[in-house]
Amino acid sequence: MLEVKNVSYFYKSQKDKLVLDQISYQFEKGKMYAILGTSGSGKTTLLSLLAGLDVPVKGEINVSGENISSKGLSYHRKNNISLVFQNYNLIDYLTPVENVMLGGKADAEILLTHMGIDSATRKRNVMKLSGGQQQRVAIARALASKAPILLADEPTGNLDEATAKDIISIFKDLAHEQGKCVIVVTHSKELAEEADDILFLKDGKI
């Protein structure tokens, strides 16, 4: 359902460094994918192209056979994608509940409770929460979305082992029971082992 076709990418400030070099891959619905690779191998870059936050220098990203640029990248971001960023990207002047409601109309309170954010914490400014708590809020926001594709950039990086396990099983259910396409960048071996497919990024290639 999500296709990467001959995609190449470099950053404009570093034109001689090809971050992605003619990558092609087909991501299917109902599966969880783990993307591994050393730091700087282009994992975040690939996710941001899949998310429609940036465009490939060459090649195309297609959803159900249609280039994501054709209906517009904002259409793609709004309707196809839910995203857990590496740096959470929470809105700093909103509470956790308000942040989760931005993800979709689902019950923010229930999702946050499920993610272990208690009622007092839910009402605080998100910037006053710990890194792990912010990560839980970011995941809850992604879970509120009805989008068919979930992209997560090192989502368990700031979480204790038990919570990380929880997140992995939630993500797996989203793929296997709700039929979503779940793509997770990770350093965690445990998470990667739970995935249906593991991709390695190295020297711009998958």
45 interface partner picked from Mg ion, ligand ADP, none, CB below 5 to 8 A per type:
ligand ADP
The sign of the dihedral angle between the CA atoms of 49, 53, 55, 61 is positive
Q: Which is nearer to ligand ADP, 40 or 179 (CB)?
A: 40
16 touching ligand ADP, by CB under 6 A: no
Question: Does an H or E element contain 8, and which?
Answer: strand 2-9
Among 23, 31, 33, 44, binds ligand ADP (CB under 6 A): 44
Among 41, 44, 80, 133, binds Mg ion (CB under 5 A): 44
Among 45, 99, 133, 135, binds ligand ADP (CB under 6 A): 45
CA distance 19 to 91: 29
Kindly indicate which of the ranges 10-18, 75-83, 93-101, 123-131 contains the residues binding ligand ADP, using the contact rule CB under 6 A. Answer: 10-18
Name the minimum Å distance from CB 88 to ligand ADP. 15
14 interface partner picked from ligand ADP, Mg ion, none, CB below 5 to 8 A per type:
ligand ADP
CA distance 115 to 126: 15
- Inter-helix orientation angle 161-176/131-143, to 10°: 10
Half-sphere exposure of 194 (CA within 13 A, CB side): 22
Burial string for 136-149 (b: 16+ CB within 10 Å, else e) reads bbbbbbbbbbebbb
Contact 155, 187 (CB under 8 A): no
11 touching ligand ADP, by CB under 6 A: yes
Kindly indicate which of the ranges 35-43, 103-111, 158-166, 170-178 contains the residues binding Mg ion, using the contact rule CB under 5 A. Answer: 35-43
Contact 192, 27 (CB under 8 A): no
39 touching ligand ADP, by CB under 6 A: yes
Residues that bind Mg ion (CB under 5 A): 43-44
Residues that bind ligand ADP (CB under 6 A): 11, 13-14, 19, 37, 39-45
